[in-house]
């Protein structure tokens, strides 16, 4: 029984930036700063907005990544790929300092509702994923917010193994 993540030995710190699906950009900035101040190596960002949050939020992600080496992983969004829409990846996944993650189904095909586009770097399982709710109830959930932690966990394993992109 229970849920085991991709990197079961990783220490996970939950930083709440939303309440009931809404929040402030200042809370996002504070969470990113907390991650930097406390030596986090990977952040998972299972939230997003179709509207650009602005330069201050982008600057926080960029500084954490480019200056402090914090790897950001984020949900690409659940907006599908409507004809003529092109790239519909949400923020913060849209930014260069963030890995955008789309969702795949049980057959490893893109989930029909998963956002797509040139900004998507990786895809991971995101349909009927075992999860746990506050209070301890288990549930199956779907979304790029379920796919993104797979990539963040894999990144943690790669970092722990000492694997680099240098050969």
For residue range 59-104, what is the model confidence (pLDDT) as tens digits? 999 999 999 999 999 999 999 887 666 678 999 999 999 999 999 9
Query: For 46-66, what is the mean pLDDT?
Result: 96
At 108-139, the pLDDT tens digits run 999 999 998 899 999 999 999 999 888 889 99
Other Cβ atoms less than 10 A from the Cβ of 121: the count is 15
Q: Residue ranges of the domains in the chain?
A: 25-161
Yes or no: say if 144 and 114 are a contact pair by the CB < 8 Å rule: yes
Cβ count within 10 A of residue 16: 8
Give the predicted TM-score (pTM) of the model.
0.92
Q: 3-state DSSP helix/strand/coil percent for the chain, to nearest 5?
A: 25, 20, 55
Q: Per residue, what are the HEC states of 99-149?
A: EEEEEECCCCCECCCCCCCCCEEEEEECCCEEEECCCCCEEEECCHHHHHH
Question: Which one of 3.40.50.300, 1.10.287.3510, 3.10.180.10, 3.40.50.200 gives the CATH number of domain 25-161?
Answer: 3.40.50.200
């Amino acid at each position: 029984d229970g849920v085991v993540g991709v990197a079961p030995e990783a220490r996970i710190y939950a930083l709440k930036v939303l309440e009931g699906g809404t929040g402030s950009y200042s809370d996002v900035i504070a969470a990113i700063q907390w991650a930097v101040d406390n030596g986090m190596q990977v952040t998972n960002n299972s939230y997003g907005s179709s509207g650009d949050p602005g330069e201050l939020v982008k600057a926080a992600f960029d500084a954490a990544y480019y200056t402090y080496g914090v790897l950001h992983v984020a949900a690409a969004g659940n907006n599908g790929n409507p004809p003529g829409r092109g790239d519909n990846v949400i923020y913060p996944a849209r930014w260069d300092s963030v890995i955008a993650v789309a969702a795949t189904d049980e057959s490893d095909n893109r989930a029909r509702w998963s956002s797509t586009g040139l900004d998507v770097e990786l895809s991971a399982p995101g349909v009927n994923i075992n999860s746990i709710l506050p209070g301890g109830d288990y549930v199956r959930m779907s979304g790029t917010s379920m796919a993104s932690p797979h990539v963040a966990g894999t990144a943690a394993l790669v970092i722990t193994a000492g694997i680099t992109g240098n050969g």
